[in-house]
Amino acid sequence: MQVTLTDQDAPVDYKMILGEHQVPMNRLVDENIQLIYAGEIRCQHCQRKTKKSYSGGFCFPCSQKLAQCDLCFMKPELCHFAQGTCREPEWGEQVCMQDHIVYLANSSGIKVGITRISQIPTRWVDQGATQALPVFRVSSRYHSGLVEVMFKQHVSDRTDWRKMLRGSADYIDLAEQRDRLLTECADEIQLLQHQVGESAITIFTDEKPLEITYPVSQYPQKVSSLNFDKTPEITGKLLGIKGQYLILDIGVLNIRKFNGYQITMKV
């Protein structure tokens, strides 16, 4: 789903991408919808048919050769670009060797995360965060991974998706948490800046947290996951959208998980 956040006083605007069509989803909250899986999956890179989706929307050969499917994309502290062993050096230059943000967010509780500058605030929305605060600007994905690992000693880097979908997270003073973490990690930050260069890591101390709301009329008391592989036809009342999840009265559906699946939607 494509997300747009133009005003933090208004909910995130969602559009479902179905082939060449963009379907506005906010207006469908509280409407009955039907999603029908046609039994066909297309690789998001080469568009060939595949019986199974790998690494979030790819065929098996692409999942083995694309840099974005490598372990280091999930764990950037393992980046091996400088060693000359990146699967796609040009792609690495365009994506990984660019400025990144290390941030704190609140989706199911406080967490640390990283993203490219161009992915703000999309990354925060995709995680279902209700608050987010940039803390560092770093010169590459590798450097962002080193900083994230440092913070992970004190806060989680994961979202409890079930808790996130049961309601809005309790308010957290992210600026206060930022200052606490900067104090606790001061020696490690100074050492890292000495190793990679002070210009490679910039600390934000005056940024204000962004607050995010979602088009949800009702949160579920119990979170049950829906799956096209098990249920090719899913019909229910759309109660809301948060992160990349459709919240239906019969369960929740992670749309991103089914990238490449050929789907028909009826209202």
SS3 assignment, position 5: coil
CA trace torsion 2, 206, 107, 239 (10° rounding): -50
> Does residue 119 have a pLDDT over 90?
yes
Give residue-wise pLDDT tens across range 146-172. 999 999 999 999 999 999 999 999 999
43 near 58, Cβ under 8 Å? yes
Which pLDDT score, from 0 to 100, does residue 9 have? 82
Cα 151-157-162 angle, rounded to 5 deg: 150
Which pLDDT score, from 0 to 100, does residue 121 have? 95
Residue 125: pLDDT band (50, 70, 90) is very high
SS3 assignment, position 103: strand
> Does residue 112 have a pLDDT over 90?
yes
- Locate 161 and state its tokens: 């998706």
Sole residue written with tokens 């890591």 = 201
Tell how strand 131-138 and strand 210-211 pair up. Answer: antiparallel
Share of the chain above pLDDT 90, in %: 95
Give residue-wise pLDDT tens across range 42-86. 999 999 999 999 998 999 999 999 999 999 999 999 999 999 999
Amino acid at 106: N
Q: Which residues have a Cβ under 8 Å from the Cβ of 260 and sit 6 or more positions away?
A: 41, 42, 43, 44, 50, 53, 57, 58
189 near 201, Cβ under 8 Å? yes
Residue 124: pLDDT band (50, 70, 90) is very high
Residue 243: pLDDT band (50, 70, 90) is very high
Q: What is the mean pLDDT of residues 103-109?
A: 97
CA distance 256 to 143: 27
Residues in the chain: 267
Evaluated on CA atoms 144, 146, 148, 150, the torsion sign reads negative
> Could you state, in order of their start, the residue ranges of all structural domains in the chain?
2-54+215-266, 98-210
Which pLDDT score, from 0 to 100, does residue 19 have? 82
